[in-house]
Amino acid sequence: MRISASVAACEFQIWGSKRRRVPHDTALRVEQLERQQREAAASGLAVRNATNTPWWWGLLVLVKYRTFYNYTDTAFLGARLADKVSMGITIMSLYWGIGGRLALDNIFNIAAVLFMWCMIPAFGAAAFVPSLVLERRLFVRERHDGLYRVSTYLAAKMIDEIGVAALGSVVISAIVYYGVRLEGAFTVFWITYFATLCVGICEDVYQNTLRNMYSQKNRFAIAAEP
């Protein structure tokens, strides 16, 4: 042990003596080269564009690997359809068959059904907020890696939510329309519900994507999270 320690000490002294013999101008030259390398690396990272990935390619990848997976996830579909189906069944059971009777005392019941039909989608859009909040860290890190633009992520989330809403709203509209026996065109009845639901979805997705995720208050705190 003593011999090995002595050998190590001798080698360290030899290395130190060699380092002390390096001329002063050579050390300055090395420091200058290192500084130039750091400046070159910094200038390479300071790009003007947010990402080099085309928007259509980023959207295609998000739809391929996330949208299709979400459409097969029962938790994803249940959070977006269960409350609306239950509300449609409730309206149908409360106002069963009143649409076929156009008496004066029944007009208020029909008006109540139509009012609820226009207001329920606005509140039902709140079911999409938790998924956006849970994806906040993932969104920030993928944006820092330059995988997609903010508009690309926003479009992908719109496709996720509106695709489910388009199919689910047809079923819910059919339950209420034919259960209550309303008069008029079914297409108008469905489009009214679907358009109102899309407005709520767009508002929630926009606010949580562009405001919460890019607010000055949360941006640095989220980026520092592990």
Q: Are residues 65 and 39 in the same domain?
A: no
Q: What is the pLDDT of residue 43?
A: 64
Nearest Cα neighbor of 159 from 220, 69, 35 is 69
Contact 172, 121 (CB under 8 A): no
Based on the domain organization, do 6 and 105 belong to the same domain? no
Q: What is the pLDDT of residue 31?
A: 79
Q: What is the pLDDT of residue 52?
A: 64
Residues 111 and 13 in one domain: no
Same domain, 41 and 60: no
The residue behind tokens 């079911």 is 127
161 residue type, one letter: E
Same domain? For 36 and 69 the reply is: no
In which domain, by residue range, is 161 found? 55-223
62 and 94 in a common domain: yes
Cβ partners under 8 Å of residue 129, min gap 6: 204, 208
Tell me: do 90 and 199 sit in the same domain: yes
Domain annotation covers residue 50: no
Instruction: Answer whether 53's CB lies under 8 Å from 146's CB.
Output: yes
**Residue 161 Cα distances to 23, 65, 67, 183, 191, angstroms:** 67, 15, 9, 30, 16
Instruction: Name the amino acid, one letter, at 28.
Output: L
Specify the number of domains making up the chain.
2
Same-domain pairing of 151 and 77: yes
Write down the pTM of the prediction: 0.65
Segments of the chain scoring below 50 in pLDDT:
1-5, 7-22, 216-226
Residue 142: the pLDDT is 82
Is 205 contained in some domain? yes
153 and 104, same domain (yes or no): yes
Residue 85 contacts residue 172 (beta carbons within 8 Å): yes
Judgement on whether residues 32 and 105 belong to the same structural domain of the protein = no
What is the rounded distance in angstroms from the CA atom of residue 136 to the CA atom of residue 86? Answer: 30
**Type of residue found at 181:** R
CB 142 within 8 Å of CB 148 = yes
